[in-house]
Amino acid sequence: MKNDVFVIGVDFGTDSVRALVVNARTGQEAGSAVHYYPRWKQGLYCDAALQQYRQHPLDYLEGLEQSIKAALQQCPAGTAQQVKGISVDTTGSTPVAVDAQGTPLALLPGFEENPNAMFVLWKDHTANEEAALINEVAHANGTDYTKYCGGIYSSEWFWAKILHVVRTDAAVREKAVSWVEHCDWIPAVLTGNNQVATLLRGRCAAGHKAMWHAAWEGLPPGSFLQKLDPLLGKYDKMFTDTVVATVPAGTISAEWAARLGIPADTVIGTGAFDAHMGAVGAGIQPYALCRVIGTSTCDILMAPLEEAGHLFVKGICGQVDGSVVPGMLGLEAGQSAYGDVYAWLRRFIMQPLYAIMKEEEEQLAMAESKLLAYLAEQAEQLPLTPNDPLALDWFNGRRTPDANHTVTSAVVGLHLGIDAVQMFRALVEATAFGARSIVERFVKEGVPIHEVLALGGVSKKSGYAMQVLADVLDRPIKIVRSEHACALGAAMFAAVCAGIYPNVTAAQEAMSSGFEHTWHPQPEKVKYYANRYTKFLELGAFTEKFYA
């Protein structure tokens, strides 16, 4: 134990935050704990019908403290005093309005219950109109500030969300001095940086979501923001410089060192998005497509700058120098709903039962917990026929390729013989077809894919979904062994920030978990799915034209 050093990776997800304590010498996971956001779990500040999803900063602060403490309690005695670094990843784009001290407005008197003063979660689509305006202005004339964001700006991203809030809430508009991404705010909290002017901005979030780029020396200029709306004028100089995630944000504050029971010289790393750090935790190498599969997916790929830096990949979520690994071009794509699609079917089946069988709630909850596994087991036994139901994966709009969050899903081929198992299979196929459209876009745009890695809840829990994905892509799918790959990636960055390793590659070599299984395509099913994929594209084109 005396030669061991430990680092902590903190992964802020959609529903919960996980802390992972890792032995930086061996990669052994010493302890982990999850804290579910209580306000989010109650559905507070959200309205699914409006596609409004907000999270209170207290959920994050409470989760940060409770998850780290609980994870350290699982470790051998003395581990806490050997912690050298902490890094965090978060969902994104998840910005919040702050005052001059960098305090989210929801933590100030008078704003505690105002959803517009809270973090606007990545999946919030209330800014669809604002995103359309950004695209219109960006493509009209002059410099196209979306060209490094795939050429289409999304309502899931930084400026669209800001514009929507300042247009609809005068109190927040007047009080907000700046806006900060979740992954930038947590390091500021841990280091005690209480001035928004000195808060470090991560390259990952700024480049992929805020249209930051060195080509125009930072954020889009004030002239562009003024064309969008004069209300954005006060934010044209929010920040200029960005840093990659191997740059320390500072050392832990005395307050947080005492709260967590760790050394006062613990280094705090700069934050980044969960998928990007998760790809590092998965062991990503150049031209490996890393699928981070949870409620949605993020597909992360990196390529050497000298080979891909000249490309402008259309319809993705950005290409950013150093957003995954310093010195590499990081490219992001993804699907706005993946696990959420299966969860929708589960709710669709179970909600009426809960309403009419209230006295059987415990038994129903047990049945619900087994439902998706049952559907997968049964779906695997079904024969493949040409007239099977066919669905689109656009339950939360389309992230990539070619972002459009006004589109909705569609299902065709229904008749009185269709049951829940066949519907489940159609949804699994839809999510796989959506993944194939992303792979094909990268390849078409000149970015080869040498292998496909998968991590996250669905990849570990549903062998059926992963087998279908392998068949649809006609590529092997390598499943990352660690159940906490995003937090593990954050821990790797913490080890670099703390000086334990000189770079990310060295940290990966020492701390990687490897792979637990590879799903190989089944040749007898590949042709069937290729034909189905063609129909999927036709259904998508029809639906987008007539029902968007």
pLDDT of residue 141: 79
pLDDT tens-digit map of 387-439: 899 999 999 999 999 999 999 999 999 999 999 999 999 999 999 999 999 99
Instruction: Tell me which DSSP letter residue 290 carries.
Output: E
| Token pair in block for residue 543 | 């639906």
pLDDT of residue 2: 59
Q: Please report the DSSP string for 341-400 in residue order.
A: HHHHHHHHHHHHHHHH-GGGHHHHHHHHHHHHHHHHHHHTTSPP-TT--EE-S-BTBB-S
| Token pair in block for residue 407 | 């589109």
Alpha-carbon distances, residue 459 vs 121, 339, 425 (angstroms): 23, 10, 16
| Host H or E run for residue 98 | strand 95-98
Bridge partners (DSSP) listed for residue 235: none
State the distance between the two ends of the chain, measured CA to CA, in whole angstroms. 60
Domains in the chain (CATH in brackets) are 6-282+482-513 (3.30.420.40), 383-480+516-547 (3.30.420.40)
pLDDT of residue 1: 54
User: Quick check: pTM over 0.75?
Assistant: yes
pLDDT of residue 295: 87
Report the interhelical angle of 57-73 vs 182-191 (nearest 10°).
60
Dihedral (CA of 238, 241, 244, 245) sign: negative
* Segments in the chain below pLDDT 50: none
Smallest CA-to-CA distance from 218 within 232, 206, 230 is with 206
